[in-house]
Amino acid sequence: MSSFTFQSLNLRAEIGGNSYALNLDGNLILLDAGMHPKEEGPNALPRYQELPYDSADAIVISHSHLDHIGTLPVAQRDHPSAPVYLTAPCAALGEALLHNSVNVMSSQREELGIPEYPLYHHREIDYARDQWMIRPYEKPFSLDPPGESGTILTFYDAGHILGSAGVLIEKDDKTIFYTGDVHFKDHTLIKGARFPELHEPDLLIMETTRGADDRPTDYTRADQEARLANCIRDALETGGSALIPVFAIGKTQEVLTMLDNFKAEGLIPEHTPVFIGGLSTKMTMIYDSFADSTRRHRPNFEILRDMKVQTGNKRRRSPIEYKPGAIYCLSSGMMSEKTTSNIFARSFLQNPANSLLFVGYADSATPAGAIKAASSGDVIRLDGSHKVQLNCVVNEFDFSGHARREELMDFAVKARPKKLLLVHGDPDATEWFQSRLSKALPECEVIIPQPGVRINF
């Protein structure tokens, strides 16, 4: 008798440290290998110990954000025979991210006293990279030896970040689709998802990040871009500068493209210098290397070459120095301690002529989260030794890289899966989807997977 099961290896049913095990009648596939951003040491790992050593037949990575690829070397250590399948941009971005993670963990070993750090090393990444198998979008490939075609996978552009993929998996008479993180609408630089038409798949594994986000019905990305341009111009005209904390992968490149568009449209002065710093520079170089080979609104547009952005002097302790009349796109997006945006903010927040412009999510426990919750004049703790008075202008914008909940609802209802698993969402988000999809799809079993629980399909 055939056996098809799904098992969440996540620490908890929430966002963070994503990894799922699919057992397809004896073929074990690991979907993603993330690191939990709110945990430290071994607690940041998925529950890899629940799988037998070297039992995975394949590891599939949906995209290169830390919560989906951050512990891939550990997963490969546990499953040394398993090839890793991912897109070419995902591999390039992921390799750079993993090497950076080694550096971060090595610092945290000393600063936070975490003896288990780093969880892996540079040479281990280089060795594990030999097992990575690059696959293009929309071209099926087999996990089985030549001549056999029992398990077929196909990547589809998920529109979340460069190289992100939804995964169609076919085995015998079963069809499974994993959305990964998805964005259906076009971004400023890259285009939105191009998913297949699904017809009653046996299993749909769907992200639910924005399930608790009641976005206004009149929201448009164009309006948000116009607001951002106006806020930047206001800062420049009052003799200040604009600081935009950005995530290194995805948000940096989208914002830089917006700035180039603003200049071309006369919304901000063309001569305004733009600085980037932190991991963003390396990731932007990788984005540029795929300028002519990926789905984009501006093919062949290379950010570093065509915008002539300034990247600072890495030999200085603080590589980016403040100047009035400039725009600073610095990582990290949450202004985490020791990052370029956090260090830069020490001399930035006190100036009332400046504007701090948030374009992405920030956890409440981070410096960015604290600033969002603060009022003008409050004292902000940037790290253990730096407190700064918040005098600058603060504004927030919605440029989420995740699909709206209504769009995901429509996708699921049109697909009409036999079983639907709601993942990558905090409890209020997954519960919103479960309540509504159970009514919209009465013949579908809608489940919020709990860690360690095997689900048959």
Concatenated DSSP letters of 357-370? EE-S---TTSHHHH
Q: Can you give the pLDDT of all 457 residues of the chain as single tens digits?
A: 679 999 999 999 999 899 999 999 999 999 999 999 989 999 999 999 999 999 999 999 999 999 999 999 999 999 999 999 999 999 999 999 999 999 999 999 998 999 999 999 999 999 999 999 999 999 999 998 766 668 999 999 999 999 999 999 999 999 999 999 999 999 999 999 999 999 999 999 999 999 999 888 889 999 999 999 999 999 999 999 999 999 999 999 999 999 999 999 999 999 999 999 889 999 999 999 999 999 999 988 999 999 989 986 554 444 689 999 999 999 999 999 989 999 999 999 999 999 999 999 999 999 999 999 999 999 999 998 899 999 999 999 999 999 999 999 999 999 999 999 999 999 999 999 999 999 999 999 999 999 999 999 9
Please give the pLDDT value at position 316: 46
Class level of CATH domain 4-213+401-456: alpha beta
Task: Report residue 377 as tokens.
Answer: 């004049």
Amino acid at 410: D
Please give the pLDDT value at position 149: 62
In angstroms, the first-to-last Cα distance of the chain is 13
- Helix (H) or strand (E) holding 151, with range, is strand 151-157
Q: Cis bond leading into 8, ω under 30°?
A: no
Give the number of C-alpha atoms closer than 13 A to the C-alpha of residue 457, restricted to the C-beta side: 31
Own/partner long-range contacts of 140-143 (Cβ < 8 Å, ≥24 apart): 141/85, 143/27, 143/29, 143/57, 143/58
Domain 221-396 bears CATH identifier 3.40.50.300: no
Domain(s) labelled CATH 3.60.15.10 in the chain stretch across 4-213+401-456
In the three-class reduction of DSSP (H, G, I as helix; E, B as strand; rest coil), residue 6 is classed as strand
pTM of the model: 0.96
Please give the pLDDT value at position 447: 98
Please give the pLDDT value at position 261: 98
Please give the pLDDT value at position 311: 85
Please give the pLDDT value at position 391: 98
Task: Report residue 84 as tokens.
Answer: 């890793």
Domain(s) labelled CATH 3.40.50.10890 in the chain stretch across 221-396
